[in-house]
């Protein structure tokens, strides 16, 4: 167990604070503010222009790590090197695509003295878009009907089952609402070219979109839940501004989800509230959202709580937060030097 005055070294991914941001910078902000002890942040980056690499007041040092496609061994080798340099105590990965490898490596990392706080491989797979409807049925949670399809011809049967509009989704990212067969076909080709097959076709649910940042302890207990409604979105549908909500039914839904799944770690529930006040789970993101700092601002610092639990420290259940807290994201031209760019691109460290 770590003593509160000892320097804590935490590695964080998701430093891409761009128009469709990764959660890393917001997670770090929460850690720095909420842990009440000296913290050294080690950034783990994939691209050399991830803004967090150059934000030295936020990230103390950054190391590039291999893409998931390079395999688990390549990632482990790199983490062993970084651990040798930095003596990491905790890793918080923040990308969907990298999570399976970090989940697989968690026992090895633990043996090296690096804690993590991640869902199990089974939990990760169950909430996957491809399995979401079955997941909902299994846990008595409302989820829109969907079909995974591998050819454009199968769109016809989706049309017959669900009617229009239909939501055509990629297996990792992207979703398009379509109103005709032609639009659905176009979306199928566009999204499958980018993300591969299958394509998920989902029935369209009308309502108000709400997101909930949730933290589970891995034993069925919900540590925190903060619901947020987007006030302004980018053309990619990402929140540029949002407000915390106070609604017991949303908190209860999050509690039910955690109790049913025994979820360990942070996640984001994407909810659609219909006119009849039904709460549909549209998607479950298996990590903190990019707006996670709002949880700290509202009184429940989820990144810091996750860190405490990962380190085996006491973390009481949060039971109160402030509704009406607003975040407004902004763009900032951060200035750096060509030498820094050379160093990260040449040496893979900065």
Partner 1 sequence: MYLRKNIATSEAGFIFNPATGDSFSANPIAAEILHLLKQGNTVAQIKESLLATYEVEPLRLDRDWDDFFNQLKEANLLES
Q: Which residue has the tokens 């923040």?
A: 94
Q: Using N-to-C axis directions, what is the helix angle for 24-34 and 302-310, rounded to 10°?
A: 70
State the minimum distance, in angstroms, from the CB of residue 350 to partner 1. 40
Does 231 engage in binding with partner 1 (CB under 8 A)?
A: yes
Does 252 engage in binding with partner 1 (CB under 8 A)?
A: no
In the numeric block, which tokens belong to residue 106? Answer: 């968690």
State the minimum distance, in angstroms, from the CB of residue 263 to partner 1. 25
Does 175 engage in binding with partner 1 (CB under 8 A)?
A: no
Beta strands (DSSP E) in the chain are 8-13, 39-45, 61-64, 90-92, 146-149, 166-169, 175-178, 199-203, 208-217, 222-233, 239-244, 264-273, 279-285, 326-328
State the minimum distance, in angstroms, from the CB of residue 248 to partner 1. 9
CA distance 128 to 209: 19
Does 233 engage in binding with partner 1 (CB under 8 A)?
A: no
Beta strands (DSSP E) in 138-187 are 146-149, 166-169, 175-178
The backbone region for 308, taken as left when phi is positive above 0, alpha when psi lies in -120 to 50, beta otherwise, is alpha
The residue (of 114 and 292) whose beta carbon lies closer to partner 1 is 292
Does 316 engage in binding with partner 1 (CB under 8 A)?
A: no
Site string for partner 1, 197-216 (x = CB under 8 A): -----------x--------
Site for partner 1 in 26-45 (CB under 8 A): none
The residue (of 233 and 323) whose beta carbon lies closer to partner 1 is 323
Site string for partner 1, 40-79 (x = CB under 8 A): ----------------------------------------
Q: Would you call 286 helix, strand, or coil by DSSP?
A: coil
Does 229 engage in binding with partner 1 (CB under 8 A)?
A: yes
Does 240 engage in binding with partner 1 (CB under 8 A)?
A: no
Burial of 165 (0-12, 13-18, 19+ CB in 10 A): middle
Q: Using N-to-C axis directions, what is the helix angle for 181-195 and 155-162, rounded to 10°?
A: 120
In the numeric block, which tokens belong to residue 330? Answer: 């902004």
Question: How many residues bind partner 1, per CB under 8 A?
Answer: 9
Does 324 engage in binding with partner 1 (CB under 8 A)?
A: yes
Per CB under 8 A, which region of 136-144, 243-251, 303-311, 330-338 contacts partner 1? 243-251
CA distance 164 to 121: 35
State the minimum distance, in angstroms, from the CB of residue 209 to partner 1. 11
State the minimum distance, in angstroms, from the CB of residue 245 to partner 1. 5
The residue (of 140 and 277) whose beta carbon lies closer to partner 1 is 277
Q: Measured between alpha carbons, how far is residue 52 from residues 24, 32, 79, 124 in Å?
A: 8, 15, 19, 27
Per CB under 8 A, which region of 54-62, 162-170, 198-206, 242-250 contacts partner 1? 242-250
State the minimum distance, in angstroms, from the CB of residue 212 to partner 1. 13
CB 292 within 8 A of CB 23: yes
Strand order in the sheet with 208-217: 279-285, 264-273, 208-217, 222-233, 239-244, 326-328
Does 276 engage in binding with partner 1 (CB under 8 A)?
A: no
Q: Would you call 168 helix, strand, or coil by DSSP?
A: strand
Does 246 engage in binding with partner 1 (CB under 8 A)?
A: yes
Q: What contacts 157, CB < 8 A, 6 or more positions away?
A: 147
Applying CB under 8 A, among 18, 76, 152, 243 the residue interacting with partner 1 is 243
Applying CB under 8 A, among 7, 70, 317, 323 the residue interacting with partner 1 is 323
List interacting residues with partner 1 (CB under 8 A): 208, 229, 231, 243, 245-247, 323-324
């Amino acid at each position: 167990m770590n003593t509160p005055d000892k320097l804590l070294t935490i590695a964080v991914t998701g430093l891409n604070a761009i128009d469709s941001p990764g959660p890393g910078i917001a997670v770090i902000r929460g850690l720095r503010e909420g842990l009440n002890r000296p913290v050294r942040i080690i950034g783990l980056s994939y691209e050399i222009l991830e803004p967090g690499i150059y934000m030295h007041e936020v990230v103390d040092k950054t190391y590039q790590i291999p893409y998931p496609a390079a395999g688990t061994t390549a990632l482990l080798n790199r983490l062993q090197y970084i651990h040798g340099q930095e003596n990491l105590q905790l890793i918080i990965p923040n990308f969907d695509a990298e999570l399976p490898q970090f989940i697989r490596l968690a026992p090895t990392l633990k043996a090296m003295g690096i804690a993590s706080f991640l869902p199990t491989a089974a939990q990760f797979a169950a909430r996957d878009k491809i399995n979401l409807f079955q997941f909902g049925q299994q846990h008595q949670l409302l989820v829109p009907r969907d079909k995974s399809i591998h050819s454009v011809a199968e769109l016809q049967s989706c049309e017959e089952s669900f009617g229009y509009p239909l939501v055509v989704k990629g297996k990792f990212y992207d979703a398009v609402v379509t109103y005709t067969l032609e639009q659905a076909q176009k979306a199928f080709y566009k999204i499958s070219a980018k993300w591969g097959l299958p394509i998920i076709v989902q029935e369209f649910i009308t309502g108000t979109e709400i997101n909930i940042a949730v933290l589970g302890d891995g034993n069925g207990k919900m540590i925190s839940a903060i619901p947020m409604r987007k006030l302004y979105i980018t053309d990619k549908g990402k929140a540029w501004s949002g407000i915390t909500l106070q609604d017991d039914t949303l908190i209860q839904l999050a509690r039910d989800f955690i109790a049913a799944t025994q979820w360990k770690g942070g996640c984001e529930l994407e909810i659609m509230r219909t006119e009849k006040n039904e709460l549909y789970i549209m998607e479950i993101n298996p990590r903190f959202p990019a707006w996670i700092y709002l949880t700290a601002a509202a009184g429940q610092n989820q990144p810091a709580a996750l860190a405490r639990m990962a380190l085996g420290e006491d973390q009481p259940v949060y039971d109160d937060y402030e509704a009406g807290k607003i975040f407004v994201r902004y763009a900032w031209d951060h200035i750096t030097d060509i030498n820094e760019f050379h160093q990260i691109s040449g040496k893979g460290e900065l």
